[in-house]
Copies of this chain bind each other. A is one copy, B any other.
């Protein structure tokens, strides 16, 4: 079927030993220019590419990274997941690593046997998986979830700060009645964005009544339910912080259906900085979270750990950033 040229073919044609071929493949300098040229010629001639399985077997190490995504429904329809995949995919290409995908229910231990390292895209109920991966000696890094009680790398955004920034901005605009639609509270990002929001409001002595906090799950559907609740309230909020841009977009949609103006009647602020925010009827003000960079950072981390050279920073916290566009304004008098 597939009958590829092997290192032997190349060596034969170049009239050198396979060792020499191996040396040029691996960029080892101690090869004479003459031999190097011959080998390169032969490689080109055969369009030779080393067999990775053989390399891995011989080297005893594996330069592929597993990306494990929690498989809850809807995860794949989120900007979050998709941006992560893009970022990880891109970084893997840059570092010449293979990307292997695991979509997990969170329970079965994932097979870390055939990857050099694994990236967990958030950790929800799958701590066990991280533990067992770690136990097998596989380098791990988790994205967007701080874990300080395990010896695992992470790269996360400061979600508490994100919640605070949102609240602070709204307060600075003069709002007194601010509501929030949380993310999935099973995720650390969800609880922490809420926490930051609450914290800052408390510091500013702005009350946050229970009916102003609606538990969402990052989905448009949950945002719609929440928004409808909010607008039905006898004393509706003048500003809404949604824990994801997709939810924020849905809030705007609901508001417009009800004949409310954004930001005239109600201000809306999101979280993510999803490019989709630019194209709706109102450009969304949001908290930018550097997802793509987190993904890249995770790959880089594994890359240096697997290569075993240099030291990789184990715990990284990135800062979110306010991006002001059109969806927030001062409250109506």
Contacts and interface: CB of A to CB of B under 8 A. Distances in A.
A220 interface: yes
A313 interface: no
A81 B3 CA distance: 32
A280 B253 contact: yes
A40 B93 CA distance: 39
A4 B113 contact: yes
Given A56-B53, A77-B275, A256-B256, A103 B114 contact: no
Interface in A12-56: 49-54, 56
Contacts of A83: 76
Contacts of A221: 279
Contact of A89 (B61, B101, B281): B101
Given A100-B98, A136-B2, A253-B281, A276 B77 contact: yes
Given A53-B57, A89-B101, A93-B103, A279 B256 contact: no
A137 B1 contact: yes
A52 B103 contact: no
Given A76-B82, A82-B76, A279 B257 contact: no
5 contacts: A53-B62, A53-B114, A76-B82, A224-B279, A256-B256
Given A100-B101, A221-B279, 20 more contacts: A3-B137, A4-B136, A49-B113, A51-B113, A53-B53, A53-B54, A64-B100, A76-B82, A76-B83, A76-B85, A77-B275, A77-B276, A81-B82, A82-B82, A85-B101, A89-B101, A89-B103, A90-B103, A99-B100, A256-B256
